[in-house]
Structure 1
């Protein structure tokens, strides 16, 4: 059963230490599954690990976390070759697509090579909930700050742009991100930008931000927009309160 509207949950979280496994899915991933409307069977989640280099050890950790959560988890790897013959069928048959963190620049380059962007857009329009953390948040937007090129952050601006906004992840934990977002918005290099603290997620229905969610008390989101009313353009940041999700 697809979501009742195109839905994206773009996060700076999603995983926590597990009780019977090293990792467990946090309330953010469980909320993405809830938004899919799945009932009467195990939710079908597709993990896309492109940004992290399709590491098999990490895929195994997520498979164990999914088993404990009651999810049916598939992995879509692109390295060394696509892991499924029918990638379109895999994505359209999912309830949730979860994109992991890592290099968003590498992710976007590989997705272009494999024509994955249009398939993600098709799945989104069909009601598959798109979600992910860090690079898996940035990719759905126009772009934002990334460490894909090294420890000195730079902008990417060639995201899928399913959401016509900039995006800032790890907004409270990595010192370069907030000032770079603000400089980029003030300069017009990023459009209106939504950001998330670690543990927070931005929930979009269609292209409208409808709620900020968190699995970490005190984490929240932010809206950063360009103000041209003064002598020079500047960025104006507004905090967005987040709803604390229950711990699964």
Structure 2
């Protein structure tokens, strides 16, 4: 089973840790002490994020590592010279938030995009928040171009359609997604609120999770010229 957990916003990068969604990632591996690797590429491998990941996931019983392209390796790093072998040994991979456009460029330059596809096809759980959620889809609505403007961006294409994150907390994302669909610049999309996550089994929505009242995900599509949203019911509310 190929699985991806796309998180609209939340987890250790946005909340007090550990959070329900961090524990969900651990539990989805069905292992007592899973190996989880953190890809902090979207934040330029910010040391504070890397340290917080190791603290959070270590505290909930995971064996942690990270892969960094912008920092010198340390004892917790996966070495760039051996990253394919080590990535394919993981139970789960978590991608943090930040700049989606720059992340994809780095991954493609190093060939990590192909290794991540291998990992997905071999049953390793892929997951991520914000940029780390959008990257798996055909396209996303992103502010990675800076300047306060949201634009469509081509993703890895593991999952069909588009993706928007932080949906309920940022009206500009909704406006941009609707305009992009009306212009046929982005395919039918999943839009995920903060404190909500969508689990894909193979390439279909399997379950929706939330851990804050009112948080959910939406299927966003267009009929002729009218964009419409269909709220997806959370199959499981995570304990806060």
Matched positions, count: 234
The corresponding residue for 1:54 is: 45
Deviation at 1:155, TM superposition (A): 2.2
Deviation at 1:110, TM superposition (A): 0.6
Deviation at 1:154, TM superposition (A): 2.7
Deviation at 1:23, TM superposition (A): 4.4
Give the TM-score taking structure 2 as reference length: 0.91
The corresponding residue for 1:32 is: 25
Where structure 2 has 5 or more consecutive residues not aligned to the other structure, the ranges are none
The answer to whether residue 66 in structure 2 is matched with residue 70 in structure 1 is: no
Matched residue of 2:90: which SS?
coil
Deviations 1:57-114 (A, max 9, x none): 2211221112211111101111147851211112111111000000001101111111
Deviations 1:111-153 (A, max 9, x none): 1111111111110010100000000000001122211122423
Matched residue of 1:10: which SS?
strand
Conservation of the 8 A alpha-carbon contact between 2:93 and 2:125: yes
Where structure 1 has 5 or more consecutive residues not aligned to the other structure, the ranges are none
CA distance in 1, matches of 2:157, 2:171: 25
The answer to whether residue 2 in structure 2 is matched with residue 6 in structure 1 is: yes
Matched residue of 1:143: which SS?
strand
Deviations 1:15-49 (A, max 9, x none): 2599xxx941322222222222224xx11110000
The corresponding residue for 1:234 is: 226
CA distance in 2, matches of 1:13, 1:178: 15
The corresponding residue for 1:225 is: 221
Matched residue of 2:144: which SS?
coil
Give the TM-score taking structure 1 as reference length: 0.88
Deviation at 1:157, TM superposition (A): 2.8
Matched residue of 1:149: which SS?
coil
The corresponding residue for 1:179 is: 175
Computed over aligned residues only, the root mean square deviation of the Cα atoms, in angstroms, reads: 1.9
Please give the residue correspondences for 1:1-248 in structure 2 after superposition, counting only pairs within 5 Å: 5-16=1-12, 23-39=16-32, 42-80=33-71, 83-84=78-79, 85-228=81-224, 233-242=225-234, 243-247=236-240
CA distance in 1, matches of 2:190, 2:52: 30
